[in-house]
Structure 1
């Protein structure tokens, strides 16, 4: 009989991604705090020979790419490698390839971070990495998709639970989106180039982070509530409406911009229709919670999940509003936009990832979470930080937009407007501190859980020896 030290760990690929995501979360949030401080103190870290590496134009894309592709993408893939075998009732296929992609993905994120820090960028939102890194990303995602689809193809469970639909769609869509958004546009210019930019920029959120996040909600919610999913048909309606309508939303980012009027209006219709999948998700969430609302008072992972779902609702109510020409003329290019962008990425689907890791990482390690009290502190700090960030940026954005309409986009009026925004920027910085502390509490809690599990494993080996 093999000793515990030689036993194969079926969760190794998932652990590689989840552990790595914690490191990139810490680094990404540090960069985010630096950004928020630069709104109050533009010369922050701007001294000595290294000041060029900490200028806003470099650290901003470093922050977004670390959070998007370091933290949340790696957390999502780690979750896929755990959940898909559970739903298929089999083992993860090509485990060595799966583990290898985790190592390669870390190299990709590190290389992208170094490249952006050194000033090598395409200047495209969420696609700033150089071309050679883009090729590695596409190959890496193809390998991840191979592992996941092979696992699904060899499943022992005949029924495809709705989460698998969302996961399969996400894996297909991300590869196509990344190719379209990062490769062909370099051969284009002008308006077609901008359309490609925002086809990718909008849909990488909706057809990767959103769809994986919703799939995880549908897996976590029945598990945490011990209730069956309210409606499988309703969840499939949500999936197919996302697949049908989301891909057409890119033009609404160019409202009142240099694109044909018919294209601006064409971007409004699918944006409004996205209310359908959002309401299908929320109806399923509230229906599944029926009779179990009392569990929220003592189940912190469930709190993360439900608050994340509510943030998702707010995000997708704002989206149709933004797509209209009138509101867009006010809030475009203002601080409202980063406030809105943080809602799905930190407020909604990072909360889902937090919930998943709190519940299932201890199960992978066969131990209990280090501290439930720290988990509660993480929840309240993260929610407080998200609310402060959102309302400070939304308020500042509305005031900026109307001030610009009145002519404050030029000369001394512009400077006066910026000075008047300092209270909002201060609140934004406080929000950044709260979000950073919450993330470090989360990382510390899970790190101590991992250390405790390793000690227990070593003690078992000593006892067995």
Structure 2
């Protein structure tokens, strides 16, 4: 890892990990790509004739190819890549040493990106498994697991040779999350022939569908909150013990939540209850996170208006909390009977992934990038545009989907599932699909502001001085 070249900066302070930079920069490319794909899907929902002018568009720009490419690019391309970058930055910082092997890290980053780009192209070409969030063909899954294994080995070796004796709570979350990712991804991507068919297969895959969010994005995202919050408010976390309680509660309860997606479906009632009860118990770790944030912020809430990275972080934590209240509610048999298979689930799925952990990732990039490049963020105004376009766009998107889902559910319960009544119900939802496209457009504009700000920060951001505060805390 290259050493600092800024005059007056101690030589022990690293210039910045190339591994982190690769993951950060490529993740932003995937963020924009996923936004474009999602916006095209939203526009085709408004006008199915959109992008159907020739045979090529008709074959490759269908919903069945665009939607899984969008979700995989958002989850694997954007979120997983950016959080790999966060861990490759944060683990060495908390261990007070450099990354164990920068060469392995760079090899992992390059292999990861080559593999995902090829995998995304294969999905667009029609080669996919058909399993939600796990559409990548087996060959690409194997490379994903190899990259996850290399990352875990690199980070665990960095931890093993650390100079800091105490393991801060973020280390627990980050190392636990990468181990969770390996286990969940392997289980969720086993070939269909090995599992069986029907409800057995669905129960198996819903373990993956729910826990790629619960045991990977949730754990790594909460660990990032615990890393950033004390640094952004310049005070220690309220309760280290409470944070560890939350960690073990997530491990204990989250893995059981898959069956709540099949409530009122063709599975035994006891299995439905086995999914509902842990879903409700998840309020314990969620509250431990929120209580820790509230306790840490006591007396310094005014800093949210002054520090935009902190504003992104607190907003992300708020959306995470709301998503985890919404989840247990809709897992109950009554609400689930109305809301399942409707547009409601589209709004709900985007709240933790975009409103929650993407906002936390934005905060991480804004905090870490100046410490990687020794250049300040280029424009505070662009940060504000990024924040407000993302928040307003997401709220328009989400409320449109939630409202449409409630209407759908009650209309279906009234028997409007076939014939002209079904078509009439669909026509009544058209305004909500337009609203989704409007909200998605604002979200996309926000990410353009984000990407441009990052680009300009790297190329033209103000250079830090030797006495700059960012050199004190990594």
Given candidates 48, 52, 55, the residue that maps to 1:49 is 55
Matches within 5 A, 1:442-453: 442-452=450-460
How far apart in 2 are the matches of 1:3 and 1:273?
48
Matches within 5 A, 1:387-398: 387-398=395-406
Shift of 1:446: 0.2
- 92-101 or 445-454: bigger deviation: 445-454
Asked whether the 8 Å contact 1:252–1:264 carries over to 2, the reply is yes
Shift of 1:412: 1.1
Given candidates 312, 321, 342, the residue that maps to 1:313 is 321
1:231 aligns with 2:244: no
How far apart in 2 are the matches of 1:318 and 1:34?
27
Asked whether the 8 Å contact 2:199–2:267 carries over to 1, the reply is yes
Asked whether the 8 Å contact 1:25–1:66 carries over to 2, the reply is yes
Deviation string for 1:318-373 (max 9, x for gaps)?
11111111111100100000100000110000000000101110221001111001
Shift of 1:186: 3.5
- 53-62 or 102-111: bigger deviation: 102-111
TM-score by length of 2: 0.94
Cα RMSD, aligned residues only: 1.8
Asked whether the 8 Å contact 2:15–2:374 carries over to 1, the reply is no
How far apart in 2 are the matches of 1:455 and 1:132?
44
1:121 aligns with 2:131: no
Given candidates 12, 19, 22, the residue that maps to 1:16 is 22
How far apart in 2 are the matches of 1:94 and 1:189?
43
- 34-43 or 8-17: bigger deviation: 8-17
Matches within 5 A, 1:34-45: 34-45=40-51
Given candidates 73, 94, 98, the residue that maps to 1:91 is 98
1:144 aligns with 2:154: no
Given candidates 54, 66, 70, the residue that maps to 2:73 is 66
Asked whether the 8 Å contact 1:185–1:196 carries over to 2, the reply is no
Residue-pair matches, total: 456
C-alpha change, 1:192 and 1:454, in structure 2 (3 Å) is farther
Partner of 2:35: 29
Partner of 1:241: 249
Deviation string for 1:385-407 (max 9, x for gaps)?
11111111000000000001111
Given candidates 372, 386, 389, the residue that maps to 1:364 is 372
Where does structure 1 differ by over 4 angstroms across 4 or more consecutive aligned residues? 1-5, 7-10, 453-456
Matches within 5 A, 1:205-216: 205-216=213-224
Shift of 1:3: 11
- 235-244 or 402-411: bigger deviation: 402-411
How far apart in 1 are the matches of 2:416 and 2:130?
27
SS at match of 1:62: helix
1:102 aligns with 2:113: no
Partner of 1:189: 197
1:431 aligns with 2:439: yes
SS at match of 1:326: helix
Asked whether the 8 Å contact 1:10–1:91 carries over to 2, the reply is no
How far apart in 2 are the matches of 1:93 and 1:423?
54
1:154 aligns with 2:161: yes
Deviation string for 1:122-164 (max 9, x for gaps)?
1101000101111111111101111111111111111110000
How far apart in 2 are the matches of 1:454 and 1:67?
31
Deviation string for 1:11-60 (max 9, x for gaps)?
11100100110111111100011011111101111120212100011000
How far apart in 2 are the matches of 1:413 and 1:99?
57
SS at match of 2:55: coil
How far apart in 1 are the matches of 2:207 and 2:4?
53
Asked whether the 8 Å contact 1:336–1:397 carries over to 2, the reply is yes
Partner of 2:469: none
How far apart in 2 are the matches of 1:189 and 1:445?
48
Matches within 5 A, 1:394-413: 394-413=402-421
C-alpha change, 1:16 and 1:254, in structure 2 (3 Å) is same
Partner of 2:175: 168
Partner of 1:463: none
SS at match of 1:339: helix
For structure 1, which runs of at least 5 residues remain unmatched after alignment?
457-465
Partner of 1:461: none
1:293 aligns with 2:301: yes
Partner of 2:268: 260
Partner of 1:385: 393
How far apart in 2 are the matches of 1:46 and 1:339?
27
Asked whether the 8 Å contact 2:378–2:462 carries over to 1, the reply is no
Asked whether the 8 Å contact 2:207–2:257 carries over to 1, the reply is yes
How far apart in 2 are the matches of 1:45 and 1:362?
40
